[in-house]
Amino acid sequence: MKRYLLLLPLILFGAVAVMLAVGLTLNTSQVNSPLVGKPAPDFQAPSLQIPERSVRLSDLNGQVVLVNIWASWCTTCRQEHPYLMALSEQGVPIYGIDYKDERPKALAWLEQYGNAYRAIAFDAQGRVGMDWGVYGVPETYVIDRQGVIRHKHIGAITARSLREQLQPLIAELRREGES
């Protein structure tokens, strides 16, 4: 019994070391969204290109879609844009939420870098963003055929996250809907 007690400090040290190792390597800048696994919050906001027309999320039910939060003032959005273009060319419908932006600048941005979006909701006040729990731009949500958020990608999409996370997930969700 006494021998085990002598080991106690070592065991406690080990436990603290393990907790610190986990805690210090956690990426706290990526906060898990409570919305993953829940129905995507519907929104109705004016279209970026045609202000009189409104964009609604419920318009796209029944498909696997991406919802991408972006803005012309966001430099990381420029980095991920080629990957969105690639996805769009592969036939993945992407809906944009133009977050706290100015219309002319956003339109000029699309002109310059290309439009990867089926439709873009213009969210000048960040109201839609708040309902989606957006706390930084860019963020990308993957939504299944039932309209449930299945994944939230925080920060720019990279070649790696596209290959290892987004594309397999999209393929899987598409199969899920067929069977």
Partner 1 sequence: MTMTRSVFTMLLFTFVMGIGGIADAASALYRFDNTSQAQRFQTLTEQLRCLVCQGESIADSNADLAKDLRSQVHEMILAGHSNEQIMQFMTERYGDFILYKPPFVPRTYFLWAGPLLLLLLASLVMIKYVGRARRDKQSIVLQQGERERLSRLLGESREPETDRTQT
Site residues (vs partner 1, CB under 8 A): 5, 8, 28-29, 31-35, 100, 126, 130-133, 135-136
Q: Which is nearer to partner 1, 25 or 32 (CB)?
A: 32
Tokens 């070592």 sit on residue: 10
Tokens, residue 122: 């213009």
End-to-end CA distance of the chain: 59
Q: Which is nearer to partner 1, 39 or 177 (CB)?
A: 39
* Residue 1 to residue 158: CA distance in whole angstroms: 55
- DSSP 8-state class, residue 157: -
Closer Cβ to partner 1, 78 or 100, answer by number: 100
Choose between 33 and 115: whose C-beta lies nearer to partner 1.
33
Closest CA relative to residue 155, chosen from 27, 28, 30: 30
Nearest to 117 by CA among 75, 33, 60: 60
